[in-house]
Structure 1
Amino acid sequence: MTQVIRTVGELEALDPEAMLISYDEEWMPCIPMRAGEWLGDWHVDPDGIFPLAVIATGEQIRAAQKALKEQE
């Protein structure tokens, strides 16, 4: 089941490396960014970015990066 993030507090509780996605038909169909990027992007209005869905945990991102590095 996909975790849905609806508040700044929930976003702050995530691993900053977790990958999330936003969906807004009017502006952009999909915007994937890490939790830390969502929190640190001063262009993003925190009241207007929710809901977000977690598409990969920080642990999954690090494991994928490690696997890719090992393939070099």
Structure 2
Amino acid sequence: MTGRVWADRQLGQLDGRRMVAIESADGGQLVATDTIDVATGDLVLVVTDDAAITLAGFAVDALVVARVADTDDDVRRPTT
């Protein structure tokens, strides 16, 4: 997770929910709804599309579902 994101307008379903900036393993950027209160620098697991909608229970493109505690040495960690 690379930082928080604030909206000046959003759907009512997102009221009270945090949005965070995520750097993917391939260097891409996306904004995800954070349901587990992650912090900047955390390595996280994000689901997208239908999986995100199913788990969130409302329309969302990307959803943080886990904070990763440990990985093998060859897993690329995002640069912050």
Q: Which category of TM-score, normalised to the shorter sequence, fits these structures?
A: under 0.3
TM-score, normalised relative to structure 2: 0.25
> More helix per residue: 1 or 2?
1
TM-score, normalised relative to structure 1: 0.26
> More strand per residue: 1 or 2?
2
